[in-house]
Protein backbone atom coordinates (compact mmCIF):
# COMPACT_ATOMS: atom_id res chain seq x y z
CA UNK A 1 0.00 0.00 0.00
CA UNK A 2 1.61 3.33 -0.96
CA UNK A 3 2.25 6.08 1.54
CA UNK A 4 -0.58 8.47 2.17
CA UNK A 5 -3.31 5.93 1.28
CA UNK A 6 -6.13 5.56 3.73
CA UNK A 7 -5.51 2.41 5.82
CA UNK A 8 -7.91 -0.46 5.25
CA UNK A 9 -8.22 -1.28 8.94
CA UNK A 10 -7.21 -0.16 12.39
CA UNK A 11 -4.78 -2.61 14.04
CA UNK A 12 -6.06 -4.07 17.29
CA UNK A 13 -3.05 -3.45 19.53
CA UNK A 14 -4.96 -4.54 22.64
CA UNK A 15 -5.70 -7.97 21.21
CA UNK A 16 -3.62 -10.58 23.13
CA UNK A 17 -2.84 -12.33 19.81
CA UNK A 18 -1.16 -9.19 18.43
CA UNK A 19 2.63 -8.96 18.41
CA UNK A 20 4.83 -5.93 17.85
CA UNK A 21 8.51 -5.20 17.26
CA UNK A 22 10.59 -2.06 17.45
CA UNK A 23 8.92 -0.62 20.53
CA UNK A 24 10.45 2.02 22.75
CA UNK A 25 11.38 2.37 26.39
CA UNK A 26 8.22 3.32 28.20
CA UNK A 27 9.11 6.64 29.79
CA UNK A 28 6.08 8.87 30.46
CA UNK A 29 6.33 12.35 28.97
CA UNK A 30 9.86 11.66 27.70
CA UNK A 31 9.58 13.86 24.60
CA UNK A 32 7.79 16.61 26.52
CA UNK A 33 10.63 16.85 29.02
CA UNK A 34 13.09 17.45 26.16
CA UNK A 35 10.77 20.03 24.61
CA UNK A 36 10.49 21.84 27.95
CA UNK A 37 14.27 21.79 28.47
CA UNK A 38 14.79 23.41 25.05
CA UNK A 39 12.25 26.09 25.97
CA UNK A 40 14.07 26.84 29.23
CA UNK A 41 17.41 27.13 27.40
CA UNK A 42 15.97 29.50 24.78
CA UNK A 43 14.32 31.62 27.47
CA UNK A 44 17.54 31.87 29.50
CA UNK A 45 19.41 32.97 26.36
CA UNK A 46 16.75 35.60 25.69
CA UNK A 47 17.50 37.27 29.05
CA UNK A 48 21.12 37.88 27.99
CA UNK A 49 21.42 40.78 25.49
CA UNK A 50 24.65 39.54 23.85
CA UNK A 51 23.64 35.88 23.58
CA UNK A 52 20.16 36.84 22.38
CA UNK A 53 21.57 39.05 19.61
CA UNK A 54 24.08 36.36 18.60
CA UNK A 55 21.34 33.73 18.05
CA UNK A 56 18.88 36.16 16.52
CA UNK A 57 16.39 35.93 19.37
CA UNK A 58 16.24 39.71 19.75
CA UNK A 59 14.63 40.26 16.35
CA UNK A 60 13.36 36.79 15.39
CA UNK A 61 12.32 35.46 18.78
CA UNK A 62 8.68 35.35 17.68
CA UNK A 63 9.53 32.78 15.03
CA UNK A 64 11.32 30.63 17.62
CA UNK A 65 8.29 30.89 19.89
CA UNK A 66 5.83 29.90 17.17
CA UNK A 67 8.02 26.94 16.17
CA UNK A 68 8.34 25.89 19.81
CA UNK A 69 4.56 26.05 20.29
CA UNK A 70 3.93 24.16 17.03
CA UNK A 71 6.20 21.35 18.18
CA UNK A 72 4.39 21.35 21.53
CA UNK A 73 1.05 20.47 19.91
CA UNK A 74 2.46 17.31 18.38
CA UNK A 75 4.70 16.24 21.27
CA UNK A 76 2.19 16.81 24.04
CA UNK A 77 -0.54 14.96 22.14
CA UNK A 78 1.68 11.92 21.53
CA UNK A 79 3.02 11.83 25.09
CA UNK A 80 -0.47 12.20 26.51
CA UNK A 81 -1.70 9.31 24.40
CA UNK A 82 1.27 7.21 25.49
CA UNK A 83 0.66 8.01 29.16
CA UNK A 84 -2.97 6.90 28.91
CA UNK A 85 -2.36 3.46 27.47
CA UNK A 86 0.31 0.77 27.29
CA UNK A 87 -0.72 -0.05 23.74
CA UNK A 88 0.90 2.78 21.81
CA UNK A 89 2.20 1.66 18.43
CA UNK A 90 5.64 0.09 17.91
CA UNK A 91 7.49 -0.09 14.58
CA UNK A 92 5.75 -3.13 13.10
CA UNK A 93 2.65 -5.06 14.21
CA UNK A 94 1.15 -8.42 13.28
CA UNK A 95 -2.46 -8.52 14.46
CA UNK A 96 -5.36 -10.84 13.50
CA UNK A 97 -6.28 -8.66 10.51
CA UNK A 98 -2.91 -8.06 8.89
CA UNK A 99 0.57 -6.56 8.97
CA UNK A 100 1.08 -2.87 9.72
CA UNK A 101 4.21 -0.72 9.58
CA UNK A 102 4.25 2.50 11.60
CA UNK A 103 6.34 5.61 10.98
CA UNK A 104 8.24 7.23 13.84
CA UNK A 105 5.43 9.75 14.31
CA UNK A 106 2.98 6.94 15.08
CA UNK A 107 1.13 7.13 11.75
CA UNK A 108 0.53 4.07 9.58
CA UNK A 109 3.15 3.95 6.83
CA UNK A 110 2.31 0.66 5.10
CA UNK A 111 -0.40 -1.89 5.65
CA UNK A 112 -1.61 -5.21 4.19
CA UNK A 113 -4.37 -7.63 5.06
CA UNK A 114 -3.23 -11.23 5.41
CA UNK A 115 -5.29 -12.30 2.39
CA UNK A 116 -3.41 -9.72 0.31
CA UNK A 117 0.08 -11.07 1.16
CA UNK A 118 1.78 -13.88 -0.75
CA UNK A 119 4.74 -14.31 1.60
CA UNK A 120 6.93 -12.61 4.22
CA UNK A 121 10.61 -13.58 4.43
CA UNK A 122 14.07 -12.27 5.14
CA UNK A 123 16.03 -11.04 2.14
CA UNK A 124 19.53 -10.07 1.11
CA UNK A 125 22.85 -10.03 2.89
CA UNK A 126 21.47 -7.91 5.73
CA UNK A 127 18.55 -10.34 6.17
CA UNK A 128 16.01 -7.55 6.14
CA UNK A 129 12.27 -8.02 5.65
CA UNK A 130 10.69 -8.65 2.22
CA UNK A 131 6.89 -8.49 1.99
CA UNK A 132 5.53 -9.93 -1.24
CA UNK A 133 1.89 -8.94 -1.91
CA UNK A 134 -0.37 -10.90 -4.22
CA UNK A 135 -0.73 -7.83 -6.41
CA UNK A 136 2.20 -5.47 -6.95
CA UNK A 137 5.95 -5.46 -6.47
CA UNK A 138 7.69 -6.86 -3.36
CA UNK A 139 8.32 -4.39 -0.55
CA UNK A 140 11.71 -4.47 1.21
CA UNK A 141 11.70 -3.00 4.69
CA UNK A 142 14.42 -2.13 7.15
CA UNK A 143 14.36 0.08 10.23
CA UNK A 144 16.94 0.68 12.96
CA UNK A 145 14.22 0.26 15.56
CA UNK A 146 14.07 -3.43 14.61
CA UNK A 147 17.78 -4.01 15.03
CA UNK A 148 18.16 -4.09 18.81
CA UNK A 149 18.56 -7.83 18.37
CA UNK A 150 20.10 -9.62 15.44
CA UNK A 151 17.27 -12.10 14.74
CA UNK A 152 14.29 -9.72 14.82
CA UNK A 153 13.61 -9.86 11.06
CA UNK A 154 13.61 -13.68 11.10
CA UNK A 155 11.19 -13.71 14.05
CA UNK A 156 8.87 -11.29 12.23
CA UNK A 157 9.00 -13.38 9.07
CA UNK A 158 8.24 -16.61 10.97
CA UNK A 159 5.34 -14.99 12.86
CA UNK A 160 3.90 -13.49 9.68
CA UNK A 161 4.13 -16.82 7.85
CA UNK A 162 2.23 -18.49 10.70
CA UNK A 163 -0.46 -15.80 10.43
CA UNK A 164 -0.69 -16.41 6.68
CA UNK A 165 -1.40 -20.08 7.44
CA UNK A 166 -4.11 -19.06 9.91
CA UNK A 167 -2.06 -19.65 13.08
CA UNK A 168 -2.04 -16.53 15.25
CA UNK A 169 0.50 -16.01 18.06
CA UNK A 170 -0.83 -17.72 21.19
CA UNK A 171 -2.13 -15.82 24.19
CA UNK A 172 0.69 -15.52 26.71
CA UNK A 173 0.35 -17.79 29.77
CA UNK A 174 -1.09 -16.71 33.11
CA UNK A 175 -0.75 -18.16 36.63
CA UNK A 176 -3.47 -20.39 38.11
CA UNK A 177 -6.66 -18.79 39.32
CA UNK A 178 -6.43 -17.53 42.86
CA UNK A 179 -2.68 -16.83 42.71
CA UNK A 180 -1.63 -13.71 44.59
CA UNK A 181 1.52 -12.37 46.20
CA UNK A 182 2.64 -8.99 47.55
CA UNK A 183 6.09 -7.53 48.10
CA UNK A 184 6.37 -4.60 50.50
CA UNK A 185 8.62 -1.59 50.83
CA UNK A 186 11.66 -1.56 53.07
CA UNK A 187 10.79 -0.70 56.67
CA UNK A 188 13.52 1.95 57.04
CA UNK A 189 14.01 5.13 55.14
CA UNK A 190 16.70 4.94 52.46
CA UNK A 191 19.22 7.49 53.63
CA UNK A 192 20.52 8.17 50.16
CA UNK A 193 17.26 9.92 49.39
CA UNK A 194 18.29 12.46 51.94
CA UNK A 195 20.94 13.73 49.51
CA UNK A 196 18.20 14.18 46.93
CA UNK A 197 16.28 16.30 49.40
CA UNK A 198 19.40 18.31 50.14
CA UNK A 199 19.85 18.92 46.39
CA UNK A 200 16.27 20.19 46.36
CA UNK A 201 17.16 22.57 49.21
CA UNK A 202 19.95 24.01 47.05
CA UNK A 203 17.54 24.27 44.13
CA UNK A 204 15.03 26.03 46.38
CA UNK A 205 17.69 28.62 47.18
CA UNK A 206 18.35 29.19 43.53
CA UNK A 207 14.66 29.55 42.69
CA UNK A 208 14.08 32.02 45.52
CA UNK A 209 16.92 34.25 44.35
CA UNK A 210 16.22 33.79 40.64
CA UNK A 211 13.53 36.53 40.34
CA UNK A 212 16.00 39.14 41.59
CA UNK A 213 18.62 37.95 39.11
CA UNK A 214 16.15 38.01 36.20
CA UNK A 215 15.02 41.50 37.15
CA UNK A 216 18.63 42.67 36.89
CA UNK A 217 18.87 40.99 33.48
CA UNK A 218 15.84 42.96 32.31
CA UNK A 219 17.45 46.23 33.40
CA UNK A 220 20.73 45.27 31.68
CA UNK A 221 19.29 45.84 28.21
CA UNK A 222 20.68 49.17 26.94
CA UNK A 223 17.53 50.20 25.09
CA UNK A 224 15.05 48.32 27.17
CA UNK A 225 14.09 44.64 27.04
CA UNK A 226 12.34 43.45 23.84
CA UNK A 227 8.58 43.08 23.88
CA UNK A 228 8.74 39.28 23.69
CA UNK A 229 10.89 39.08 26.81
CA UNK A 230 8.63 41.46 28.74
CA UNK A 231 5.61 39.36 27.79
CA UNK A 232 7.29 36.09 28.77
CA UNK A 233 8.68 37.43 32.06
CA UNK A 234 5.40 36.95 34.04
CA UNK A 235 5.22 33.33 32.79
CA UNK A 236 8.80 32.81 33.96
CA UNK A 237 7.94 34.09 37.43
CA UNK A 238 4.86 31.85 37.50
CA UNK A 239 6.99 28.84 36.57
CA UNK A 240 9.44 29.69 39.37
CA UNK A 241 6.57 29.94 41.85
CA UNK A 242 5.25 26.57 40.65
CA UNK A 243 8.71 25.02 41.08
CA UNK A 244 8.95 26.35 44.64
CA UNK A 245 5.50 24.96 45.42
CA UNK A 246 6.45 21.50 44.06
CA UNK A 247 9.67 21.42 46.10
CA UNK A 248 7.79 22.31 49.27
CA UNK A 249 5.36 19.48 48.54
CA UNK A 250 8.29 17.08 48.24
CA UNK A 251 9.60 18.22 51.64
CA UNK A 252 6.17 17.71 53.22
CA UNK A 253 5.94 14.25 51.67
CA UNK A 254 9.46 13.39 52.86
CA UNK A 255 8.67 14.51 56.40
CA UNK A 256 5.54 12.37 56.49
CA UNK A 257 7.46 9.42 55.09
CA UNK A 258 10.26 9.75 57.64
CA UNK A 259 7.81 9.96 60.51
CA UNK A 260 5.45 7.22 59.35
CA UNK A 261 5.25 4.13 61.54
CA UNK A 262 2.25 2.55 59.84
CA UNK A 263 2.54 -0.87 58.15
CA UNK A 264 4.77 -0.91 55.09
CA UNK A 265 3.02 -0.14 51.81
CA UNK A 266 2.85 -2.72 49.05
CA UNK A 267 5.19 -1.93 46.18
CA UNK A 268 4.77 -4.91 43.85
CA UNK A 269 1.67 -7.09 43.65
CA UNK A 270 0.81 -10.08 41.47
CA UNK A 271 -2.42 -11.98 41.02
CA UNK A 272 -4.04 -14.06 38.31
CA UNK A 273 -4.90 -10.85 36.40
CA UNK A 274 -1.43 -9.32 36.11
CA UNK A 275 1.36 -7.30 37.67
CA UNK A 276 1.07 -3.97 39.54
CA UNK A 277 3.91 -1.63 40.48
CA UNK A 278 3.16 1.07 43.10
CA UNK A 279 4.70 4.41 43.93
CA UNK A 280 6.53 4.91 47.21
CA UNK A 281 3.71 7.15 48.38
CA UNK A 282 0.96 4.82 47.21
CA UNK A 283 -0.99 4.51 43.97
CA UNK A 284 -0.27 2.23 41.02
CA UNK A 285 2.23 3.49 38.45
CA UNK A 286 2.03 0.49 36.14
CA UNK A 287 -0.42 -2.34 35.54
CA UNK A 288 0.38 -5.06 33.00
CA UNK A 289 -1.83 -8.01 32.19
CA UNK A 290 -0.20 -11.43 31.96
CA UNK A 291 -1.29 -11.49 28.34
CA UNK A 292 1.00 -8.47 27.75
CA UNK A 293 4.19 -9.60 29.53
CA UNK A 294 6.62 -11.27 27.17
CA UNK A 295 9.98 -11.18 28.97
CA UNK A 296 11.70 -9.91 32.13
CA UNK A 297 15.32 -9.25 33.02
CA UNK A 298 16.84 -8.49 36.43
CA UNK A 299 19.73 -6.00 36.61
CA UNK A 300 22.01 -4.70 39.32
CA UNK A 301 23.63 -1.29 38.99
CA UNK A 302 25.75 0.92 41.22
CA UNK A 303 28.48 -0.13 43.59
CA UNK A 304 29.30 -0.22 47.30
CA UNK A 305 26.48 0.82 49.59
CA UNK A 306 24.54 2.41 46.76
CA UNK A 307 23.31 -0.65 44.94
CA UNK A 308 20.34 -0.21 42.66
CA UNK A 309 18.16 -3.04 41.40
CA UNK A 310 16.01 -2.87 38.28
CA UNK A 311 13.51 -5.05 36.49
CA UNK A 312 13.33 -4.65 32.71
CA UNK A 313 9.95 -5.81 31.47
CA UNK A 314 9.28 -6.33 27.77
CA UNK A 315 5.67 -6.54 26.62
CA UNK A 316 4.27 -8.27 23.52
CA UNK A 317 4.54 -5.00 21.56
CA UNK A 318 8.28 -4.83 22.34
CA UNK A 319 8.02 -1.86 24.70
CA UNK A 320 10.51 -1.89 27.59
CA UNK A 321 9.63 -0.79 31.12
CA UNK A 322 12.44 0.09 33.57
CA UNK A 323 11.22 -0.62 37.10
CA UNK A 324 13.29 0.35 40.14
CA UNK A 325 12.85 -2.18 42.98
CA UNK A 326 15.61 -0.84 45.25
CA UNK A 327 13.06 0.21 47.86
CA UNK A 328 11.74 -3.31 48.47
CA UNK A 329 12.47 -5.45 51.50
CA UNK A 330 15.64 -7.48 50.84
CA UNK A 331 15.81 -5.67 47.54
CA UNK A 332 18.35 -7.92 45.79
CA UNK A 333 16.73 -11.23 46.68
CA UNK A 334 13.24 -9.83 46.17
CA UNK A 335 14.10 -8.50 42.71
CA UNK A 336 15.48 -11.90 41.70
CA UNK A 337 12.38 -13.57 43.13
CA UNK A 338 10.00 -11.34 41.18
CA UNK A 339 11.96 -11.98 37.97
CA UNK A 340 11.92 -15.74 38.61
CA UNK A 341 8.14 -15.75 39.19
CA UNK A 342 7.41 -13.77 36.03
CA UNK A 343 9.78 -15.97 34.02
CA UNK A 344 8.02 -19.08 35.31
CA UNK A 345 4.60 -17.66 34.41
CA UNK A 346 5.57 -16.47 30.91
CA UNK A 347 7.28 -19.78 30.10
CA UNK A 348 4.41 -21.88 31.42
CA UNK A 349 6.52 -23.51 34.14
CA UNK A 350 5.37 -24.37 37.69
CA UNK A 351 5.45 -21.44 40.06
CA UNK A 352 8.06 -21.15 42.76
CA UNK A 353 7.12 -21.66 46.38
CA UNK A 354 6.91 -18.11 47.73
CA UNK A 355 7.21 -17.35 51.41
CA UNK A 356 4.69 -14.75 52.61
CA UNK A 357 6.12 -11.31 53.23
CA UNK A 358 4.26 -9.65 56.09
CA UNK A 359 3.71 -5.88 56.05
CA UNK A 360 6.10 -5.15 58.90
CA UNK A 361 5.74 -1.73 60.54
CA UNK A 362 7.96 0.99 59.19
CA UNK A 363 10.40 2.67 61.54
CA UNK A 364 10.46 6.42 61.94
CA UNK A 365 13.74 7.69 60.59
CA UNK A 366 16.27 9.39 62.86
CA UNK A 367 17.03 11.72 59.96
CA UNK A 368 13.71 13.49 60.43
CA UNK A 369 15.32 15.86 62.91
CA UNK A 370 18.23 16.39 60.54
CA UNK A 371 15.92 17.32 57.68
CA UNK A 372 13.98 19.76 59.86
CA UNK A 373 17.24 21.30 61.08
CA UNK A 374 18.36 21.81 57.48
CA UNK A 375 15.09 23.45 56.54
CA UNK A 376 15.02 25.73 59.60
CA UNK A 377 18.58 26.88 59.11
CA UNK A 378 17.89 27.43 55.43
CA UNK A 379 14.87 29.54 56.28
CA UNK A 380 16.96 31.56 58.74
CA UNK A 381 19.68 32.09 56.15
CA UNK A 382 17.08 33.29 53.65
CA UNK A 383 15.83 35.67 56.31
CA UNK A 384 19.33 37.07 56.67
CA UNK A 385 20.11 37.35 52.97
CA UNK A 386 16.77 38.38 51.44
CA UNK A 387 17.11 42.02 52.47
CA UNK A 388 20.50 42.08 50.80
CA UNK A 389 19.23 40.63 47.54
CA UNK A 390 15.85 42.34 47.21
CA UNK A 391 16.21 45.52 49.28
CA UNK A 392 19.94 46.36 48.90
CA UNK A 393 20.54 46.09 52.65
CA UNK A 394 23.90 45.37 54.29
CA UNK A 395 24.12 41.64 55.06
CA UNK A 396 27.64 41.44 56.45
CA UNK A 397 27.13 41.78 60.19
CA UNK A 398 29.43 40.25 62.78
CA UNK A 399 26.48 38.89 64.73
CA UNK A 400 25.60 36.50 61.91
CA UNK A 401 29.06 34.97 61.53
CA UNK A 402 28.61 32.21 64.17
CA UNK A 403 25.35 31.18 62.57
CA UNK A 404 26.92 31.12 59.10
CA UNK A 405 29.86 29.04 60.38
CA UNK A 406 27.46 26.53 61.93
CA UNK A 407 25.36 26.50 58.78
CA UNK A 408 28.39 25.78 56.56
CA UNK A 409 29.53 23.00 58.90
CA UNK A 410 26.08 21.43 58.78
CA UNK A 411 26.03 21.51 55.01
CA UNK A 412 29.44 19.86 54.84
CA UNK A 413 27.93 17.06 56.91
CA UNK A 414 25.10 16.49 54.44
CA UNK A 415 27.29 14.57 52.01
CA UNK A 416 28.39 11.71 54.32
CA UNK A 417 25.28 11.61 56.53
CA UNK A 418 23.82 8.66 54.63
CA UNK A 419 26.96 6.57 55.07
CA UNK A 420 27.16 7.51 58.75
CA UNK A 421 23.55 6.50 59.21
CA UNK A 422 24.25 3.12 57.65
CA UNK A 423 27.48 2.74 59.64
CA UNK A 424 25.58 2.75 62.89
CA UNK A 425 23.14 0.17 61.59
CA UNK A 426 20.14 2.42 61.29
CA UNK A 427 19.38 1.76 57.65
CA UNK A 428 20.79 -1.59 56.62
CA UNK A 429 19.17 -3.70 53.93
pTM for this structure? 0.70
pLDDT higher for 114 or 42?
A: 114
Same domain, 74 and 116: yes
Question: Is 308 a member of any domain?
Answer: yes
Q: Are residues 206 and 231 in the same domain?
A: yes
pLDDT higher at 188 or 52? 52
Least confident of 34-43, 203-212, 241-250, 259-268: 259-268
- Structural domain including 376 reads 192-261+365-423
Task: Tally the domains of the chain.
Answer: 3
**Same domain as 199, residue 59:** no
Residues 215 and 307 in one domain: no
Least confident of 62-71, 293-302, 383-392: 383-392
Examine the domain organization and report whether 153 and 51 are in the same domain: yes
Q: Indicate the pLDDT class of residue 27, thresholds 50, 70 and 90.
A: low
Q: Does the pLDDT at position 263 exceed 70?
A: no
Q: Looking at per-residue confidence, does 125 or 195 come out higher?
A: 125
pLDDT at 45 over 70: yes
**Residue 388 to residue 416: CA distance in whole angstroms:** 32
* 329 inside domain: yes
Res 100: pLDDT: 94
Least confident of 8-12, 227-231, 342-346, 393-397: 393-397
Q: Read off the pLDDT of each residue in 268-289 and give the average, rounded to a whole number.
A: 79
Q: Are residues 26 and 131 in the same domain?
A: yes
* Average pLDDT of the segment spanning 210-218: 87
The model's confidence at residue 6, banded by pLDDT at 50, 70 and 90, is very low
Same domain, residue pair 160 and 75 = yes
What's the chain's average pLDDT?
Answer: 80
Cβ proximity of 341 and 284 under 8 Å: no
Q: Examine the domain organization and report whether 305 and 279 are in the same domain.
A: yes
Q: Are residues 256 and 339 in the same domain?
A: no
Residues of the chain with pLDDT > 70: what percent?
Answer: 77
Residues 245 and 275 in one domain: no
The larger pLDDT score, comparing residue 326 to residue 181, is at 181
Residue pLDDT, tens place only, 72-104: 887 877 776 665 554 567 899 999 999 999 887
Give tens-digit pLDDT for 403-418: 667 667 766 666 666 5
Confidence of residue 428 (pLDDT cuts 50, 70, 90): very low
Residues 275 and 255 placed together within one structural domain of the fold: no
Q: How far apart are CA 334 and CA 309, in angstroms?
A: 10
Amino acid sequence: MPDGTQPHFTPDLANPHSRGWGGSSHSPWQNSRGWLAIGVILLSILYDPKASALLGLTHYGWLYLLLWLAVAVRILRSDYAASRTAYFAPCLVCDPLGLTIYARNGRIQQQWRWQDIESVATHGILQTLRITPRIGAPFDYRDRRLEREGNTYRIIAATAQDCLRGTLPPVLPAPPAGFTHIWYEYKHFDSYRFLENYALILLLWALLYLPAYLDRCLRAWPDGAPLLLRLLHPFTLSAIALGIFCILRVFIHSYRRYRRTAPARQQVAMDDNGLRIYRAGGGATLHLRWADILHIEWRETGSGHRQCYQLLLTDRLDHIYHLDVTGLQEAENTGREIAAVITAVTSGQPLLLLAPQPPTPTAASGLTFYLCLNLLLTAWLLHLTFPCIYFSADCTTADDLPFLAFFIALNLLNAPIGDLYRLFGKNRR
